[in-house]
Amino acid sequence: MDKFLKKNLFLISFVLIPIICLWHPNWLGLMRVQPYWPIFWLLPWSMVYGSFKGCVVGLYLGLVLDSINPGSFTQIPGLMLCGLWFGRIRLCSNFLVAHFRYGLISLIGSFICGIFYYLQILLKNLPDNNFFFFIPSFKNVLVQIFLTAFFAPLLCSQLFRLLKISLEKNVFIYLAKK
């Protein structure tokens, strides 16, 4: 069982993101707004596997999230851009700085994804002259950014550690077979 979990950690953690988005735990929210859950997974995964794979997985994650939340707006461009950017980030050696760095990076990534989503809503409703109707909903984007940055040091650092160990064990096992 332990080998199965270590070998399929990527798939198991990938499936958990849509489940958490559907579960929508209210006790983790603020003003009925949840953190942006895909960032918690995409940030450490892209840091471990690189920017190209981060961009591709951002596309897949966006497709999965758009399929469970049907509508005319998509999360794909923001997630792909964040996956590409997160993959270029490397870790620093200072333990405390690395934890706060997760918060700052996830704050910026959540802002990028939230702005892309918000701009799609504004551009769709711009011809209807109800542009000012959507300005108060910008508070949802700001609360989501705050919550994502608040929880990111705890969740991203743990997931990064698990993914890094999983990658190292897979490489070690692969090299041992040769």
Kindly indicate the confidence band of residue 52, based on its pLDDT and cuts at 50, 70 and 90.
Answer: very high
Instruction: Judge whether 40 and 106 are in contact, CB under 8 Å.
Output: yes
Q: What is the pLDDT of residues 54-113, one digit of tens each?
A: 999 999 999 998 998 877 789 999 999 999 999 888 765 555 557 788 899 999 999 999
Structure tokens, 82: 């964040």
**Is residue 66 situated within a structural domain?**
yes
Strand partners, 33: 30
**Is residue 82 situated within a structural domain?**
yes
**Is residue 72 situated within a structural domain?**
yes
Domain of 56 in residue numbering reads as 2-23+33-177
**Overall pTM surpassing 0.75 (yes/no):** yes
CB atoms within 10 A of CB 147: 20
Average of per-residue pLDDT values in the chain: 81
Distance, in Å, from the CA atom of 44 to the CA atom of 92, rounded to the nearest integer, reads 14
**Is residue 46 situated within a structural domain?**
yes
Domain count, the chain: 1
Q: What is the pLDDT of residues 36-45, one digit of tens each?
A: 999 999 998 8
CA 121, 123, 124, 128 dihedral sign is positive
**Is residue 71 situated within a structural domain?**
yes
**Is residue 28 situated within a structural domain?**
no
